[in-house]
Amino acid sequence: IKESGVLKVGYIPAAMPFSYWNRDSQLVGYDIAFAHKLAQDLQCRLEFIPFDYDELSDNLNFGVFDIAMSGLAVTEERLKTMCFTEPYLESEWVFISKDFQRHDFENIEELLKKKDFKLAVVGETSLESLARNLFPDAELVLLESYDEFLSLDDKLIDVMLGTREEGSISLRSLAKESGV
């Protein structure tokens, strides 16, 4: 980094509140701010490179970027191929439902006993493996992003598993835009 004068940071384009494009087409978010501070501390330029979760390890190993940021979860699988810094945040996972269904998913013990429900989760995230482990009898519906949740027909999913940070910010933003 010092030799090239450039810090290359890998990021997920739609990982609110960690990294996302705002209405002014600017890349912003917690991790984006941290990346700017790191580049300033290293006295180098900053280059952002988008990536997909399934390419993360290869991109790091082949030097496509120097560091990855975007609220990345530390998972057992990822620990086999990459190193992590100390986390600055421990996300809580939550169930996200449409307002009229919220009472159906308030009790985790009851939900763990259920066998006939459709559980949505953003695919290729640590929450996908968590959902598969905790709810092996649920029908898992993989979404591209939180954005899909509001547009899905109520018959396609019953509830979504997400993180408090990503879910609340993404869904609040989308609901405002769509008037929901």
Q: Give 9-28 pLDDT, tens digit per residue.
A: 999 888 878 898 888 999 99
**% of residues, the chain, pLDDT over 70:** 89
Mean pLDDT of 79-101: 80
pLDDT band at residue 180, thresholds of 50, 70 and 90? very low
CA atoms of 89 and 147, how far apart (whole Å): 23
Q: What is the tens place of the pLDDT at every residue in 134-149?
A: 888 888 999 877 777 7
Separation of alpha carbons 12 and 74, rounded Å = 15
**pLDDT at 167 exceeding the cut of 80:** no
The β-bridge relationship of strands 118-122 and 139-143 is parallel
**Coil, helix or strand for 9?**
strand
Contact between 93 and 164 (Cβ < 8 Å):
yes
Q: If you average pLDDT over residues 36-47, what whole number do you get?
A: 97
Q: Kindly report whether the global pTM for this prediction surpasses the value 0.75.
A: no
Higher per-residue confidence, 175 vs 16: 16
Q: Give me 179's structure tokens.
A: 């008037």
